[in-house]
């Protein structure tokens, strides 16, 4: 089952606890994972066709 996590902040934060749990639950989603954020006025999107638990990018985040 897909899961969506949304967060919005008005200052810099490190949501380590939330993303860690989200990543672990993604082990049961074989279709892949992705993340999007707005570093400026445009969206930056990363998608991978693997589970978040096996992704070097997800581990880095």
For the annotated catalytic residues, the residue numbers are 2
- Residue 24: in which H helix or E strand, if any? helix 16-25
Cα–Cα dist 23/42, whole Å:
25
CA distances from 40 to 2, 16, 21, 43, 44 (A): 27, 22, 27, 8, 9
């Amino acid at each position: 089952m897909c899961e969506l996590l949304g967060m919005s902040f008005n200052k810099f934060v490190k949501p380590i606890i939330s993303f860690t749990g989200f990543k672990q639950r993604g082990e049961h989603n074989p279709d892949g994972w992705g993340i999007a954020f707005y570093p400026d006025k445009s969206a930056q999107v990363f998608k991978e066709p693997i589970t978040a638990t096996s992704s070097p990018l997800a581990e880095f985040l």
